[in-house]
Each structure stands twice: as C-alpha cells, then as structure tokens.
Chain A
Amino acid sequence: MGVELATENAGFSEMEDVIFSDTELVCHVRNALRSATMGHYDGYNQLVGVLHHTEYLTPDEVALLVTSLKALSGAVSCIDSGHHESLLSAIFGMSMWNYGPDVMDALVELIVKLAASSGQYTDSCLDMLVSNFTPPRSFVEFLKKPRRKGQVLYHVHSALQGIANLLPLAPLRLEDAIVHKMPNVYSKEPLIVLYVENMLRLESSAMGAVVGGMMLKAVVDMAIELDVKIEWEDILQDDPKGIFEMELEDEETVDNTQQEGDELRIRESSRGKSFWGSEIAEKLDSLLVLMFEHLKKCNDAGRLIEVFEPLLQSFQTTVMMVYKLKFSQFVMFYACSLDPENCGMRFTNTLADIFMHRASPPNRRMSAVAYLASYLSRAKFLSLSFVAEILKRLVGWCLKYCETWDGDINPTAHKVFYSGCQAIMYVLCFRMRSLMDIPCLKSLLLHMPIEAIFNHPLNPLKVCLPSIVEEFLRQAKAARLFTTVSEQTFLFNNNMVESELSRAFGGSEKLDMFFPFDPCLLKNSDGFIRPNFVYWSMARTSYDDDEEGCSNEDVEDFGGSGENIAAWSSEEHDHHFDDDELDKMSITPKNSFLNSYMFGGDLCGSALRMPSRIRPSSSPESSWCTN
C-alpha cells in the first residue's frame, strides 16, 4: 500500500491506483470504526493488528504503521470507548521506545488529538505518555541505541506540551499521574534515574510554572525515602578485615576503570543486607547528582531563586523533621553554594527564624538550630561578617533567655536553650580563629555577652556535648575570649562523646548529636559538595600556632600548610592522627571501613597513602587497622 506520509493537505489529488490520499485513508478508518460499532469487525481487527506489531518491523510494516496512526488521528471523533476497547488499549499500550522517529511523530499526533477530542481519554493519554518516560522492558537493550533515548524524550515532552496547549488544565492532572507512577525505591537504579530526569526536564519546561514545584518536592521525597533506608549497620556488618584487604589493593590503583573493578569486588564480597544497603546508597547518590546538575542548570539560566522556594518549603516540611537523614539535606547546601547572597542568606534567615519562633514545637526549633550551626560551620561560601551577624543574633537570643529564666540546670525544660548554646559553641569551634583574625569581627566577638551566658546558673557548659565544650573552651582559652570561665572546671573523659546531661537535653531523637552537614560520604555527590565544604582538618583553631607539647605533632603541619592539604584532605584520614579530635566534630561513625566503603576505597586509599608516605608519622601503621 503506497502512502503519502508528510502533508496534511486534504489531497483531492490524482487518483492513481497505488496512492491513496489522506482523506481516503481517514475515510477508510472511519468506516472500519463505524462498522465495528455495528458488529462488523474485519477492518477494525486489521487495524488493531497493525498496532500490535512491535518487533523487527520491516520498512513496509513501518510505513503501514505510520499510515494507520495518521489515519486514526483524523478519525478520533469516531472512536467510541464502549465499542473500541481493544483499539484504545492497543494505542495506550504502545511504547515509543520500540520505534523510530517516523512512528513516534505519528503516535504523538494521535495521542494529542485523542486527548483533546474528548474528556474521557485525557487521563489515559497522559498516563500513556508518563509510562513512556521509561523503556518497557530490560533497559540494557535500549542502551545499545543511545540516540533512541533522546528521541523518545523529545517526543514525549513535545506531546505533553501539545496537550497542555490545547487543554490548559491538563498539567494539573499530569502532576498527579507522574507522582503516582513514580518508581519505588526497590526499582533498578537506571529506571529511577531516567524517570527523575524526565521529571526535572518537565520542571525546566514551559509547564514548569504549574508542575515544577510538585516535581521537585516529589524528587526530594524520594531522596528521603532512600536516605532513611541506609543504615550504618548494614555496611558495618561486613568482615572488616576482608574489606580492609581490598582497600590495600586499591591503594595501588589510580585510574578509574580499575577502581570500578575493585568496587565490584568489594560489593560482591558483601553479603545480603549490606549489598542491598550499598545499592540504596548508589541510587541516592545518582539521585542527588541529578538534582545537583539540575540546580546548576537552573542557576546558569538565572532561575535558581524560582527553584529554591519549593525546595525550601519542602525542606521545612519534610527534610528538617526527619532526624535520621544522612545526605539528602545536601541539596540545600549545594543550592546555597550556587548563590550565597540570595539563597544562602534566605536559608540562614529561615533557620534562624524557626529557631527563635516561640510557637514552634521544641524539636523543630532544635533541629533548625542544629542545621544552622552545621551550615554556618561548613559552608565555605559564607562571608565571615555574615556568620558573625548570625552568631550575634543567636547570642542575643540566648542572653535574653537567661535573663527571663531563673533556676538551675534542667536539661529537658530548657532544651531549646541548650541547643542554642551548643550551636554557638560549635560554630565558634570552626570559625573562632578566622573571626579573630579580622579586627572588626574580633571586637564584635569580644563584645558578645557569651561569658554571661556561660556563667548563668543554667550552666550550658555542663549540659552541652562534652566534646564540643572541651574543644570550644580550649580555643577560647587560646584566644583569650573569657576572663572568668576556666577550662579546669570542665574536665571530661576524652573519649566521651555524650554525657548523661547532654543525652537528657537531646531526647529520644538525639538532637544533641545532630550535625546534619557532616561530610557527605556518597562518592559522586561529594564531588559537587567538596569545593564548598569546610572539613575539620581544614579549620584553623585558635591554639594552632601556640601548640607545643601537643600529643598530636601533625596538627602543626595541618595548621601551617592547611591550604595544600585542603584539596586532598578528607576528614577520614585524620583518623590516625587524632581520632578524638576528629570524632568530636562529627557524628560519622568512627569506623573507617564505612568511610572507605562509601568512597569505594579510592579516595580514602589515596588519603591514607599521602600523609603517611610523604611525612614520616609517629603513629604506628597498625593504628589504621584497629578501631
């Protein structure tokens, strides 16, 4: 059957024996449809049969399919949901991944016309397009045809836009369809990645104004779902020695391809639960990378602020309230790093406002100030004067609280206050030295009534996390911040991270040990975060230069040549220099195997390698193995 493929012209053209005009084809299909309603199914069944052809189509069959689809587009008004069920299910079951661009074009036209022809088909058409976000079967097959993905996505999204042009309210229905059909956390990683890619593409499209917010929230929700499923224990179940042996091997390899092979070996050696745990981590990693790339694109297009608002909303309602989150919150961190003046400040002010808002539930306030503290300490892109300003606000609030409340230590009753004090101390541990180095900020800091707060009967120094208090006092002493507060009164057991009092104020959610922006351990995501992140090893402390008989002789090296090491350093390689110091500043479990696992051994391997081989270290090599 010869056909005219391209034009929509109502061709009353030459009637040759072989070529039929478009109108005639449409007529033929209409007749077939009408006869079907009256019980004569021949033409109709033929038509349905053509649509079911998916594999290994010859060019003739492709032409036939294209013609049928085009003819159907002209006959949509004759399609009846009652009599033409099999036809409709054939159409909605078609997947663009199976065909070439010609068929895709024809199918898009048909779907758009069908959606616009009657309200009863709109939802099914939208569902069909959403199903086309991902390929129908094994993904591997389609990886062999890389161009196919680009073509399919282009056609699917242009179809969605086409429908939105004719039915202005369609995007609202589309939103629901997309969220309902999201793959669950147990689906394969490439499927999740591809689906989310589609969602983010919609966000950037013209429809983004309507559906964008919902898309972003749904992606963040999925990230949270994956995040809470990752357990430190899952990975620590592995035989430590086994992994460590792998790690030693990794040290020798530098190039990526080999490294991936080693990762595979590590994964294969893992059993059951921990293997699954690492799959989840990988999915989260890919998801976060997609988000980061999307944010970067939005920033380049100058629309980061638009995208930031729904993210901030989502953060306040979901991310902030889930205390077991490990890495999803870095979406906010990265967004702020792209635009410190607007997004960075907005984020900070939001957190500070939540903390100081009396009507909010206490846990929410504590969570907000924990985020604030971790963010102010770790964000390299924040100006010191801004940090000082926020500190001043916090100190002001704490002082006012002291003046309002009398009475002694009561961890549970004044938990919001204690978390505020701990936040101040935490930020100063990271920033004190830098603040002191700038004269105007130094005087600002010295004028802050911090001492008054710590001397108050509520006694925050006794209640807050001992490791932080100790580090803070050490630095304060070296910087001569206080006159009356003495370090001697607060002698803690060096290995103690928590005390009974701190546990009391932290409560069941352990908000006393909540440092949400501790280093990101997901390999690919970390690459985005690293340039803007302050590692503890990079932070200069106020006692650095004065150090003499310090148990940790290498701290000097870090203090002095901080900049050189900074590019390489990860918190993890501090382990063999000063476990305690490191641990105090991070809740990342001590076990270095977790860290090396997450990094696939390479970064940690090289990190382990560099300082120990370049500098002769007095810490015995065996300290790596023991923990």
Chain B
Amino acid sequence: MEGLKVSDAKLVVYVHPSKATKVSQAILRELSSLLFKFSEILDGVVLAYDVSTLSEVAKILPGVHPYFGVRLQAKLLLFHPKADMLLEGKVVKLGQQSIHVIVLGFSSAIIIEEDIREEFKYKVKRGEEVFDSASHKRHKIKVGTTLRFLVKSFDEEILHISGSLVPAHTGSVRWLDKNREDWLHADRSSKKRKKSAEREQMWEHNKPIIDASTLSMNTDQSNKKSKKRRRNEDS
C-alpha cells in the first residue's frame, strides 16, 4: 500500500513550568494532539510517533510564562495519499451508487458509480448487496472485502478519500493476489505494463503495512529536519 512513509523530524516542544516535574507526560500529550490530523509542515497525517530527547538541557523562554523548550528527535509515521496512488481498505457499505471503504481504520473513502468499471455489476444476492465481476466469476466485492483502489483526491481536513475502481489492477485484494496473470493481461498498453511490473515487485515483499522497516526500503524516506514550535498549554 502506498501513501505511508516514515519521516525523521527534529522538534522542539515548549513545556509550561507547571509540568516541570512531569516532562515526558507533557511531551507525549503534546505529540498526541498531532495524531490523526493533517499537518502541512510534516506533509501528512501523523499516525504514530517514536520520540527521544536530544538533549537534557532545555532553554527557557523569556517572558511572562517561562516555558522551556525540550529538543526532541522523533520518527513519525505519516500518511499522505496522493492522486494515482493505490490504497487498500475494508468495505463497510455497498450501494448501487457508491462503495464506502475505510482505510487504516480511520480514513474514509468513497468510490462512486461512475468510477466503478463496467466489469462490475451491482446485484442483490440472498439479501446481500454485492458487486460481481462479469468477466471473472470469482471476483466479488461485498461488505468486509479488502479492496484495492486508486486515489482520485484527498480531503486534508476531513481525511476523506475519493477513489476509483477503473484501472484493471483494482478490486478485491484477495482475488487480485491470486490471479495476477488475469489482470496483468488486461493491461496491454506499454506504459501500464511498466507500472504493473513495478507493482508486482512490491506485492512480492508480502509484509504487513505498518512495518516501518519495510517502508523505509520501499518508500521515499525524506529526512526532514523540520524545526517546529509548539506551545504546551497548562491543562
């Protein structure tokens, strides 16, 4: 799955003097306030952090409230889906006009009728709604299916993704992984072929998504030395 990356960041957290006896708690609290929000500076939604202090000495700010700045080194897991990336998520709702998917348990995605390729037909079988593939009998999409789809757009405020099932290499992950030849054949054009070969390599790794070490191999690792100021308010 694309869209995930691990970044190194150098941060400064300004801690209120009342928290001088519990600095770690204050820092963790401040970093936790970043979670599940899109940060422009970090260029992504912070999903997890691993933090360590760079120095035992902290500079005290001059002013009415003497906040002191603790320097930190953090590894941040960031999520930033961009157009034409492939993502995977679980289908939670299915209708004739749309498929609703949840990615990584927190981000919602929608694929509207117009973005579902002709191959899939909406049916209601035994009370259950399902999208059946007309060309491949076993390729089904229903509630609970893990779906691979292409990103069209990403709303950074609500963390809502608009997706597409038009390309041949999108659909139910289970079927796609078992039947690689089928959908590879479908992409005849040279450009698409190249891309597919790359993707094939990625699927070979076969590791869970959240493994940071894998990501550092596959994805961009931008060593961001961003300095960020935050104020830790007295709670």
Contact = CB atoms under 8 A, between A and B. Distances in A.
B108 A167 contact: yes
B106 interface: yes
Interface string B161-188: 0100000000000000000000000000
18 contacts: A9-B124, A10-B96, A26-B97, A74-B96, A75-B97, A76-B98, A77-B97, A116-B93, A116-B100, A117-B110, A118-B110, A119-B160, A122-B158, A166-B93, A166-B100, A166-B108, A167-B108, A169-B107
A171 B146 CA distance: 24
B69 to A, nearest CB: 23
Contact of A116 (B110, B124, B157, B159): B110
Contact of B159 (A77, A123, A166, A169): A169
A113 B94 CA distance: 11
A439 interface: no
Interface string B75-99: 0000000000000000011011110
Interface in A1-22: 8-10
Interface in A170-199: 172-173
A201 B4 CA distance: 37
B36 interface: yes
B36 A169 contact: yes
A76 B158 CA distance: 18
Contacts of A173: 158
B105 A74 contact: no
Contacts of B36: 169, 172
B162 A118 contact: yes
Contacts of A169: 36, 106-108, 158-159
Nearest to B155: A119
* Chain A interface main SS type: helix
A118 B114 CA distance: 15
A117 B111 CA distance: 9
Interface in A230-255: none
Contact of A77 (B21, B98, B108, B124): B98
Contacts of A120: 155
A168 interface: yes
Interface residues of A, number: 26
Interface of B: 21, 36, 92-93, 95-98, 100, 102, 105-108, 110, 112-114, 122, 124, 129, 155, 157-160, 162, 235
Nearest to B21: A359
A318 to B, nearest CB: 12
B157 A77 contact: no
A441 B114 CA distance: 79
A43 to B, nearest CB: 19
A165 interface: yes
A8 B162 contact: no
Given A113-B98, A166-B92, A77 B114 contact: yes
B165 to A, nearest CB: 14
B123 to A, nearest CB: 9
Given A74-B97, A123-B158, 6 more contacts: A77-B98, A117-B98, A118-B110, A165-B93, A166-B100, A166-B102
B92 A165 contact: yes
Interface string A72-91: 00111100000000000000
Given A167-B108, A169-B106, A8 B160 contact: no
Given A166-B93, A168-B106, A169-B106, A10 B122 contact: yes
Contacts of A26: 97
A207 to B, nearest CB: 15
Contacts of B106: 168-169
Contacts of A76: 97-98
Contacts of B93: 116, 165-166
Contacts of A172: 36
Contacts of A113: 95, 98
A8 B96 contact: yes
A561 to B, nearest CB: 52
Contacts of B112: 77, 117
Contacts of B92: 165-166
Given A166-B92, A168-B106, A119 B157 contact: yes
A129 to B, nearest CB: 16
Nearest to A359: B21
Interface in A101-135: 113, 116-120, 122-123
Residue from A9, A23, A119, A165 whose CB has the most chain B CB atoms within 10 Å: A119
B154 to A, nearest CB: 9
A77 B113 CA distance: 9
Contacts of B129: 8
B158 A168 contact: no
B100 A118 contact: no
A77 B162 CA distance: 11
A317 B235 CA distance: 9
Give 5 closest A-B pairs by Cβ, nearest first.
Answer: A119-B155, A119-B158, A119-B160, A77-B112, A167-B108
B160 A167 contact: yes
Interface string A214-237: 000000000000000000000000
Contacts of B113: 77
A8 B110 contact: no
Contacts of B107: 168-169
Interface in A292-314: none
A119 B107 CA distance: 11
Contacts of A122: 158, 160
A26 B114 CA distance: 14
A120 B154 CA distance: 11
A10 B96 CA distance: 8
A73 to B, nearest CB: 8
Nearest to A77: B112
A211 to B, nearest CB: 15
Given A166-B100, A168-B102, A116 B108 contact: yes
Contacts of B162: 118
A459 B98 CA distance: 78
B129 to A, nearest CB: 8
A23 B95 CA distance: 12
Nearest to A165: B92
Contacts of A117: 98, 110, 112
B103 to A, nearest CB: 10
B199 to A, nearest CB: 28
Contacts of A168: 102, 105-108
B98 to A, nearest CB: 7
A359 B114 CA distance: 64
A76 B113 CA distance: 11
A121 B36 CA distance: 19
Interface in A479-536: none
Contacts of B235: 317
Contacts of B108: 116, 166-169
A23 B96 CA distance: 9
A330 to B, nearest CB: 26
B62 to A, nearest CB: 24
B22 to A, nearest CB: 11
Contacts of A74: 96-97
Contacts of B110: 116-118
A555 B118 CA distance: 91
Contacts of A119: 155, 157-160
Nearest to B124: A9
A119 B157 CA distance: 8
A118 B98 contact: no
Contacts of B157: 119
A113 B102 CA distance: 15
Interface string A255-293: 000000000000000000000000000000000000000
